[in-house]
Amino acid sequence: MRKIGLFASVHQADILAEAGWSENNNVELFDNFAPDIICGEVRKEDYNSKSNYQGPGEYKRYIFDYCKARNIRFVPCDWFDDQTISATQKGELADADDEIISQFDSIVEQYLTVGKNSCIPYNSHQFNALVKKKQELQNTANPQLHKIIWTDRNDNIIKNIYSTIVKNPDSNILIVFGAEHIYYIKDELEKLIEDIIIFPLENCKQKIDKVKE
């Protein structure tokens, strides 16, 4: 039976290091999952044109090399446009009042603590719940910008991932996206597919054993 896995990627390697983790640990997780396909946070047009921008830094640092070395097919599944970029640059909290800013700062503090202390850093249901809470607050601050920055982008990402899943019914598929996308991807895919989604990829004991080695 094929497997569908979700992995919340952290774009900065130094943030992983602060949690006592490394991208080599990620590679071990991927190998244990044994993907045939990785769906990643790169746009199709950028990937096909070999644009200078090929998604967040981890793709050039190790994910593309990982796929090439193991003959794993990489499928670019990100989506955004100029409107997304402009809205992101402005930021949902640009016009937020002090109360919302205070609530946001409190959630982010919890989010970082929980993320660092998750069995696999930033890969846990508790962390996902905090991301959802954080984004709900951002939506309260500016619904229009939140829709452009997150909802529209995530919905198009879901379409790309779902298309890949449907077209490859016998393949193990690992979905690797930034940690703030994962709760939404998981929730939406569970509505669309019957496969059990594996998240997080391993349990806490396995993580502790790896770190001790």
Q: How far apart are alpha carbons 211 and 104 in whole angstroms?
A: 32
Q: How far apart are alpha carbons 21 and 201 in whole angstroms?
A: 15
What's the predicted TM-score (pTM) here? 0.93
Amino acid at 156: N
Q: How far apart are alpha carbons 195 and 189 in whole angstroms?
A: 9
At residue 97, does pLDDT exceed 70? yes
Q: Where are the domains of the chain?
A: 4-212
Q: How far apart are alpha carbons 120 and 213 in whole angstroms?
A: 15
Instruction: Give the residue, 1 or 57, on which the prediction is more confident.
Output: 57
What integer pLDDT is reported at residue 203 of this predicted model? Answer: 58
- Find where tokens 């983790």 sit: 21
The whole-number average pLDDT for the span 94-112 is 95
pLDDT in tens, 165-197: 999 999 999 999 999 999 999 999 999 999 999
Helix (H, G, I), strand (E, B) or coil at 173: strand
What integer pLDDT is reported at residue 202 of this predicted model? Answer: 83
Q: How far apart are alpha carbons 91 and 71 in whole angstroms?
A: 39
Q: How far apart are alpha carbons 138 and 135 in whole angstroms?
A: 5
At residue 9, does pLDDT exceed 90? yes
